[in-house]
Amino acid sequence: MPEPLFRFAETLRGLLEVHTADEVERAWARRRPDELGWRALRRAWQLDGRMWERVLDECDGLLLRLLDRLPVLAAGGDARATRVRAFRVPALERLQHATAAALVAQRYGVAGLRTVIADDAAPLPRRYFAFLALAIRHPPTEWSLFERYLVPDAHHAFLGAAAEVARFYPRDVAARRLVQLFEAVRRDLHLRAFLSPRILGSLHVLSEPTTLAFFRGLLTAGFTDADPMFCEVTRALVMVRRFTGRLEESSKYADPSAAGVKEAVDLAEERYDRKAGVLSPVQVI
């Protein structure tokens, strides 16, 4: 199977051959450049590989050419043209910023990514994808940078990435900062909904015993959801059992010994473990 980055470049070259908005939509449905691009770029953010710099440079150039060409093809008022302008062009813009960040990571490593992040004049998506690439690599020396973004007034994309990457850093310090962040956003329901899975996912990985009291509080004060990835009470049940060896009463399960409760918590814990090393990008426009 060819390297995904090379397949991504080939897909972008194919898109440059279309002549109408309708052809753009058909080619997009057939080639799925966004799905292929994000898979390929994640590898480039994470790892250094032979010849990746050249193909990333090519992808960056192809994306810039597409961003010049597609708005011209989609200048009409029909549904296909509108869809290209509303969805395909923004998707390519995000891919271009992400590709540029991956190119910096390949050429200049951690120092280059830090330079992009610190550049206030750089486009926000470019800075975010550099931040995400650094988070995916999570060098041991970079905790102080990520910790600076663990404050409620940070941009939500950087805040979300910082909350997730905290799982790879000193257990006691990171766990304390994450609990403080959760308490700071507890009453902001929108920010809490966004951050809670990220914070609790990191606390699951850190597994710091000093967070037992925090998780016990969530057993009765946490939000519930049918999906365990978004259920604070299920997260708390898993962690309290990890620390104490038993399931405790909660707002979701008044009787922890009832049929099916243990099985539900077991399945949730398995799912949390599978996601332990995965960071989830957010959509930045």
Are 147 and 265 found together in one domain?
A: yes
Structural domains counted in the chain: 2
Output the pTM of the full model: 0.91
Q: What is the mean pLDDT of residues 23-33?
A: 93
pLDDT tens-place string over residues 211-241: 999 999 999 999 999 999 999 999 999 999 9
Are 207 and 95 found together in one domain?
A: no
Are 266 and 167 found together in one domain?
A: yes
Are 27 and 145 found together in one domain?
A: no
Identify the residue with better confidence: 77 or 199: 199
Query: How far apart are alpha carbons 131 and 119 in whole angstroms?
Result: 12
Does any domain span residue 89? yes
Query: How far apart are alpha carbons 67 and 263 in whole angstroms?
Result: 50
Per the listing, tokens 């051959």 go with: 17
Count Cβ neighbours within 10 Å for each residue of 62-74 and write b for 16 or more, e otherwise.
bbeebeeebeebb
Are 99 and 190 found together in one domain?
A: no
Does any domain span residue 128? no
Tell me the residue range of the domain where 196 lies.
141-274
pLDDT tens-place string over residues 143-178: 999 999 999 999 999 999 999 999 999 999 999 999
SS3 145: helix
Report residue 122 as tokens: 């750089």
Are 14 and 96 found together in one domain?
A: yes
Are 21 and 98 found together in one domain?
A: yes
Does any domain span residue 132? no
Q: Is the CA virtual torsion 142, 185, 119, 97 positive or negative?
A: positive
